[in-house]
Structure 1
């Protein structure tokens, strides 16, 4: 039968790059799905046309080809039993234009014809991939995620976003026969430069000493003090603990006398060892009509200390002067360009333009491990064709009920490679060489190091033709010269729990904007100290990784708080404001239902950019 399969491919004009391996796999497909060699080659013809492949049959496509065969068997079963309905975790099915659910429009209720597969097909697919559930749970009906009525609903927008359309609208103007052989339109490949990726995979962590913590805090205070002085707008830094009737300018860190929130304990200012021997002094803010402070915040204070026991503040400076760059002590050699052929692929661009989709985990609902939300996100991205897809962890969520119960037969690494990297590889193969994906881990990833800052996933770009990359958490990268900064720790929520503020009558009450501004003003991805209990902060790694040397164009801070896309404006004294797009994409999966993601089209500067928060 292998000879017949080889003869059929040759008769149709195809060339096999590895005859023995391809014939062996195709023989398995024929036996499993009871296909003749001619039927198998006919199915390959459809697969090849859909993806615009050459006449060379490669072993790399056998996995995606198997998925198409499963879809064809699904359609045959649907024709016999139209009442069966199951939501598949198959990316190829979602990208297939023949899918009835997509033809009916994404805003419609799933119909009987859009049934995904039978329990029999689910069993066979699980045998091929390995069972995910020890309990042998099968999906006998559509999942709660699949029962939702509305898909890809725009929740909020930044500026105007005319490109957000439903998949239904696209199909209303398309010919169903042409859709079968529709090919992805070519798009420009974006340049990519990883500016910051610390720590490195395999680094030693959680061995930090008291000395490391001391050096980290001292460096934070001293660098801010140096920057204030270098700007030329402030006097010499003085010791705030010395009694003086004259007004002085001091720099220190906001802290509590004991553990607890600021509002519950006296507010203290801890100066550096250089200026005060690390002494703390009580801080009186009664004369200020506006402030916003939290533990760990490094600020400049103008005031006087008449008794030597309490510094009475007349002014708080919480923003580092934008005209002066903080010294991050990172030599240029530590910046990595992960594209060795960067300039040959993407020529120098006249303007900074970038289209990207941003989504944060978890990527599967709590009732299963099928990663249905991720599949639908990739289907949406396949139609919108963004230059960059940014996915933030957790990917294999350690808080997922099935993982907590230990009812998974695969290892966490196997799940990651099967459910995440496998789907992404299918996505980039379908989209072509222009598609690019960035992955960032989370401390909740069960298959990765539990430390913050967190090294990148150990993914070799060459294995994915330099299309799938991983950056550290937090991390900074540039795409088409648009600087993007990301951090998966929920710093917004943790700052919200610790911050206290006072606003004048009729003042701004945009709390989310104020919280995000703290990140840029402090030039740190995690300015909170002491850290939250759930954050495994390693101070020996923190200084290089957490520091933000300059304001990025796009700041991505996934959080459990309300999703948003806002333009932040950082204003310094006598300085032009610097603007930045801040994004909280929300969570892609929320409980048993869908969540949110963000689509951004950046052009030149934040004012010209457009973005939308979309409910999946």
Structure 2
């Protein structure tokens, strides 16, 4: 591509830019050096001059600085090619590619594919024929991103190793209650009204409704404190008293955007009792404590006057969650009736290796589930980890097709669960999504997974017993969360 002075002048004129007589030849050399067209040259000079607040016609001195700027940008571009994927901008993007009719037929065929009837023969290894969607060499990952031969997941030497064990003196039972009774363990929602709905909207709650919800938490905790510690009344936050009093409030930071430290800790009372007043706390007399912004606490202290901080003597013990409501007599009846406890198996993600997304760890885990026959299986995400380099770059393919994150979850996670239920449909499966799941909403508290969509990979309708979030398991009250509250 040859560029002459006339092309440069025409390009600058079309952008309404002035160019000095002796500067046109410099523009030609810049275009040759950096492979720019005359229009690109004019457009880039226009942007550069605006950013540098240059006025007047383009001259030789200005073009020298412009050449240095282009050299710097070229160097940055080369350096970014060698930047590791861990240093890239963490931005989750679902690959969207228009599929041809042939590719769409392949995708539809996956929904109709039957699970192989061959059972697993190895207790803790990656089954080669157990997936509903059969793995092929390099599936879901380019060949260049496969594990090194000497450091692959398949060649590990510590598979099945017990790292830590609790209550080892108790008798070990390899199978759960349902393995002999062939009955499903009942897994129920303890507080249905408080459970998030699948289609619940978020980010639309008005500010005053959030304030009301936070205040209701404080009022509820005040009543719990009075019942637990047998107190007749609690003093409002902010009311001076020379005697030692007990107050309940929420920990806040004195500085609006400052970092919490012992010198700026405040307690905020409820609107019902004190109008939401705040008081600075003096924690020098407390030997040890653990607080964070937003934590609801009950404490004892002295607040002599409004000019001084409240001197804290001690923090009252937090009130634990309610215990199981099943009576001891009923538990004994269950034990006599069946003679076996409820067996719950729990595992946390991610369920892929760092070098590929073949979900071999998940396959091996589910093989153990089939062998040990627990009553309840709890899987905690992430399943589609947006921090995985291959999910970040959108390089995930299956049979030559780019798949969305929802399709990956369907074909790689739910089909594996289908294989488990095909062999033992009494197992109850609880799936807990994570904030790191690329196929789910990035909001806390999270919505449950859409059961109707997730269960499309199941062969039989009776398999669709997947239940999400906090549940009862017989005489046990449990809750799951994979969000790190304290960072």
Which of the five TM-score ranges fits, normalised by the shorter chain? 0.5 to 0.7
Per-residue deviation, 1:295: 2.0
1:444 alignment counterpart: 436
- Structure 2 residues not aligned, in runs of 5+: 1-110, 325-333, 397-401
Q: Does 1:478 align with 2:477?
A: no
Q: Does 1:405 align with 2:393?
A: yes
When Rg is computed on C-alpha atoms for both structures, the one with the higher figure is: 2
1:421 and 1:354 mapped to 2: Cα distance? Answer: 24
SS in 1 for 2:383: coil
1:306 alignment counterpart: 304
CA deviation string 1:294-326 (max 9, x = no partner) = 22221222222112231112232142387899x
1:376 alignment counterpart: 364
2:242 alignment counterpart: 245
2:205 and 2:317 mapped to 1: Cα distance? Answer: 29
Q: Does 1:392 align with 2:391?
A: no
Check 1:442–1:470 CA distance in 2 against 1; reply closer, same or farther (3 A cut): farther
1:419 and 1:360 mapped to 2: Cα distance? Answer: 16
1:50 alignment counterpart: none
SS in 2 for 1:381: helix
Check 1:486–1:251 CA distance in 2 against 1; reply closer, same or farther (3 A cut): same
2:291 alignment counterpart: 293
Check 1:348–1:440 CA distance in 2 against 1; reply closer, same or farther (3 A cut): farther
SS in 2 for 1:364: coil
Check 1:476–1:351 CA distance in 2 against 1; reply closer, same or farther (3 A cut): farther
SS in 2 for 1:292: coil
2:114 alignment counterpart: 62
SS in 2 for 1:227: helix
SS in 1 for 2:284: coil
Per-residue deviation, 1:284: 1.4
Give TM-score, length-normalised by structure 2.
Answer: 0.63
Q: For this pair of structures, how many residues does the alignment match?
A: 347
Equivalent residues of 1:240, 1:311 under 8 A apart: no
Per-residue deviation, 1:279: 1.2
Equivalent residues of 1:229, 1:236 under 8 A apart: yes
2:258 and 2:368 mapped to 1: Cα distance? Answer: 45
Alignment of 1:16-95 (within 5 A): 62-65=114-117, 95=120
1:159 alignment counterpart: 167
Check 1:194–1:232 CA distance in 2 against 1; reply closer, same or farther (3 A cut): closer
2:190 alignment counterpart: 195
User: What is the root-mean-square deviation of aligned Cα atoms in Å?
Assistant: 3.7
Q: Does 1:316 align with 2:315?
A: yes
Equivalent residues of 2:128, 2:135 under 8 A apart: no
Per-residue deviation, 1:242: 2.6
Alignment of 1:172-571 (within 5 A): 188-196=183-191, 198-231=195-228, 233-258=230-255, 259-263=257-261, 265-308=263-306, 309-320=308-319, 353-408=341-396, 409-430=402-423, 432-460=424-452, 465-472=461-468, 475-491=469-485, 494=486, 497=487
Equivalent residues of 1:437, 1:467 under 8 A apart: no
Give TM-score, length-normalised by structure 1.
Answer: 0.50
Per-residue deviation, 1:422: 0.2
Check 1:471–1:387 CA distance in 2 against 1; reply closer, same or farther (3 A cut): closer
SS in 1 for 2:250: strand
Match of 2:155 among 138, 147, 151: 147
Check 1:469–1:366 CA distance in 2 against 1; reply closer, same or farther (3 A cut): farther
CA deviation string 1:387-406 (max 9, x = no partner) = 11110111111111101011
Check 1:488–1:436 CA distance in 2 against 1; reply closer, same or farther (3 A cut): same
Check 1:487–1:435 CA distance in 2 against 1; reply closer, same or farther (3 A cut): same
Equivalent residues of 2:335, 2:341 under 8 A apart: no
Check 1:61–1:271 CA distance in 2 against 1; reply closer, same or farther (3 A cut): same
1:115 and 1:395 mapped to 2: Cα distance? Answer: 19
Equivalent residues of 1:186, 1:434 under 8 A apart: no
